[in-house]
Amino acid sequence: MDKFFNWLDDHGGRRTWAMVILALLLAGVWFWQQGPTGEDRLPVVADTAKLIKTDAPDEFAALDEDKDKPTEATVHVSGAVAKPGVYTLSADARVNDAIQVAGGPLPEADLDALNLAQPLIDGTKIAVPRQGEAPPAPAPGTVGTGSTGAGAVSINAASVEELQKLPGIGPAKAQAIVAYREAHGGFRALEELKEVSGIGDKTYERLAADIQL
């Protein structure tokens, strides 16, 4: 080592530069040893991958739900129409659309007895009554007047505000009725109203004369 430094003394300023270079090399080696290794970096990559894998399904959840929604509704149109029968329409069609597809109403049809704006429900029957005809009690899955009056509230089409006009129905129960029909694609029978939270047999009995599908 002395010979090395004597050689540097003989060569003037080279000794100073050599010491500076040596110090930089030593500092570089130290920082390299103290820095993160490849193994230390792996958890960070793994965590990032985990986040991507966890978040990805949520982005497509809404798309999956849309795929499950029906795109068509098949209904049976009977009574005072030109061409009674079974017809398939788009899922967003209304009772009036089904009547028109069935050839339109006959002159003696009592359209005021129906809610023409009611959304179609797959598998239901639309019974168009004649004027002066006593409406029969509707079978489950039938869109008709049943025992309700002309001012009956449609549990399939009424708004939250309109539902609150019914006896014993406040804001909470009205919201529950709307939430239930949206979750189940509408009511298929009046008695199904008893499946709504907060509506039991007694409440249903009070409502029966004032509601329709």
- CA angle, corner 130, sides to 159 and 192, nearest 5? 40
Q: Nearest Cα to 141, choosing from 91, 204, 78? A: 78
Q: Which residue has the higher pLDDT, 97 or 191?
A: 97
pLDDT class of 187 with cuts at 50, 70, 90: confident
Q: Average of pLDDT values for 80-101?
A: 93
Q: Which residue has the higher pLDDT, 164 or 61?
A: 164
Q: What is the pLDDT of residue 11?
A: 55
The Cα–Cα gap between 163 and 54 comes to 41
Q: Is the entire prediction scored with pTM above 0.85? A: no
Q: What is the pLDDT of residue 124?
A: 82
pLDDT class of 20 with cuts at 50, 70, 90: low
Q: What is the pLDDT of residue 99?
A: 95
